[in-house]
Amino acid sequence: MEQNKPENTTDRDEILERALAPVRARFIEAIEGHILSLETLRQEARRETPEKNALKEIGQLAHRIAGIAGSVGYKQIGEMASSVERRVIDCCASDRTESDCVASVDEVLEPFLDSLESKLDD
Amino acid sequence: MRILAVDDEPLLLEVVKTSLAQLGYQDVTFVNSGPEALAAMDNAAVPFDCFLFDIQMPEMDGITLIGLTREKPAYKRTPILMLTRVSEREAIDAAFAAGATDYINKPLDRIDLKARMGMVARLVEERRRAGAVSAVAQAAEHHEAAPFETPLFMEGIGGLVEYLALENYVLTLGRKQMFSIAALGFTVENAAAIYRRAPGLQFEYMLGDVATVIFEVMKANNLMFAHAGGGDFICLLPRMHEIDPEHIEDDLRLALSDFSGLYAADGMPMPRVRVGQPVRSNVFSLTRADQILIRALAEAQPKDSMPEPAWKRALR
């Protein structure tokens, strides 16, 4: 279970980890906004639209989270965000229907959102 | 060392800033986009020594930014490290081809960052010293010759990257990707003789001619290649391409013959290029990935040369 502190911290990293604490705090503060954005985009994606913009935006936000999460100690969140991003890319490149794509992205988005929410409870 | 870091995620820049500060790199400028980075380069009173670029950015991606940076005369050889995730494999390939020097994996790891930045710091220091030597030489109105074995980089030749970048690129490849490439070595057999005769600019021009014809002959293969020092070049190709060294040698000879008038006018011998057998990675190989480069370079060396006389061996 991830705690509200970085994983795999060694003694040698302690000074750096202390220095990174404010960045980590800001990452956690931003999580609530990310959850709201992802939920809103998911609702938009579920409405029938000819383009996959909402899904693409989900992918872009997941990409941003994936890029930073691991670096502030939340490797698991980073990996889950990467899975969401990859799934969106695969769906957008395929000729699957919009609803198929939404369902497919949901498979990885739902546990990702749960994991983000659990960080708010820490 | 003056560093410019570019990432569209402000929190990641905070992490980079904190991590670099811990390693003693304090002179770092941070911007959030490619256009801001280009403006920072243009406005810098003292040029930057090193760049850290994110690859995927909304306004201008990191690969475009590498290309535009390399177009600036002051930054043709400045080390560029990409900030990447392992999943960005295709982008990593494109970035090396565009002129990147190395990469740093996200999530950032302190030890990895320290190693990569240490490499860059040494490179910057070496070039600073070489630049100082060159400036003195230019003041004396003659070109300071680089030592024969130094890998050189010649500008404006398609597919040509620095040898260090090629090594770093190979080290990024996983076993599966290694299996999909082949390395091909080229050697200018009479390079040492040409260097002894004209160790300065003329030697570098000769290498430039050879690099140009290698690109012309091999460009259909989507190649990436580098000068490895002396008269040696190393080239990476997709494994599936059929490679016939003798045929390539003939094509190179023909292409080089276009330059024969220039060499005759300068009283210089024409470079004779030998091509080795392609070297492919064994999928079960446990050796370091960059060994493929060394093996391919060795393949290109003449094997049927006469044995050295005993007195010469004794001198070693």
List per-residue pLDDT tens for chain B, 316 residues long. Answer: 899 999 999 999 999 999 998 888 989 999 999 999 999 999 998 999 999 999 988 889 999 999 999 999 889 889 999 998 867 778 888 898 899 998 888 888 888 888 889 888 888 887 776 665 554 455 444 556 788 888 988 877 888 888 988 888 888 777 777 778 889 999 999 999 999 888 888 898 899 999 999 998 988 777 889 999 999 999 998 876 778 999 999 999 999 988 888 888 888 899 999 999 999 877 666 667 788 899 999 999 887 655 666 665 565 5
Alpha carbon distance B296, B293 (integer Å): 5
Alpha carbon distance B52, B240 (integer Å): 34
pLDDT at B53: 96
pLDDT at B143: 55
Question: What residues of A are in contact with residue B110 (Cβ under 8 Å)?
Answer: 12-13, 16
Structure tokens at B202: 């003329």
- Among B96, B138, B81, B108, which residue's Cα sits nearest to residue B14? B108
Q: Is B233 helix (H, G, I), strand (E, B) or coil?
A: strand
Q: Which residues, 6+ apart, have CB-to-CB distance to A84 below 8 Å? A: A58, A59, A62, A105, A108, A109, A112
Chain B CA closest to residue A61: B9
Q: Given an 8 Å threshold on Cβ–Cβ distance, is B22 in contact with A68?
A: no
How close is the nearest chain A Cα to the Cα of B54, in Å? 10
How close is the nearest chain A Cα to the Cα of B177, in Å? 20
Tell me, yes or no, if B22 comes closer than 8 A to chain A by beta carbon: yes
Alpha carbon distance B182, B218 (integer Å): 13
Query: What's the CA dihedral at B198, B201, B205, B211 to 10 degrees?
Result: 100
CB-count burial class (<10 Å; 0-12, 13-18, 19+) for B196? exposed
- What mean pLDDT do residues A35-58 have? 83
Asked whether the beta carbons of B233 and B217 are under 8 A apart, the reply is no
Question: What residues of B are in contact with residue A80 (Cβ under 8 Å)?
Answer: none
- Among B154, B63, B52, B58, which residue's Cα sits nearest to residue B112? B52
Structure tokens at B177: 């990707």
Q: Given an 8 Å threshold on Cβ–Cβ distance, is A70 in contact with B11?
A: no
Main-chain phi, psi angles of B283, to 5 degrees: -60, -25
Tell me, yes or no, if A19 comes closer than 8 A to chain B by beta carbon: yes
Q: Which residues, 6+ apart, have CB-to-CB distance to A58 below 8 Å? A: A38, A41, A42, A45, A84, A88, A105, A109
pLDDT at A58: 93
Tell me, yes or no, if A60 comes closer than 8 A to chain B by beta carbon: yes
Question: What residues of B are in contact with residue A67 (Cβ under 8 Å)?
Answer: 7, 9, 12, 54, 85, 106
Compare CB distances from A72 to B15, B22, B54 and report the shortest one's residue. Answer: B15
Tell me, yes or no, if A24 comes closer than 8 A to chain B by beta carbon: no
pLDDT at B106: 87
B107 cis-preceded (ω within 30 degrees of 0): yes
Compare CB distances from B14 to A23, A66, A78 and report the shortest one's residue. Answer: A23
Task: Give the sheet arrangement for strand B80-85, strand by strand.
Answer: B28-31, B3-6, B50-54, B80-85, B102-106
Mean pLDDT score of chain A, rounded to an integer?
84
Chain A CA closest to residue B17: A20
Give B164-189 as a DSSP string.
HHHHHHHHH--HHHHHTEEEEEEEET
Alpha carbon distance B148, B203 (integer Å): 9
Tell me, yes or no, if B11 comes closer than 8 A to chain A by beta carbon: yes
pLDDT at B126: 75
| Residue B67 or residue A99, greater confidence | B67
pLDDT at B65: 96
Q: Given an 8 Å threshold on Cβ–Cβ distance, is B14 in contact with A26?
A: yes
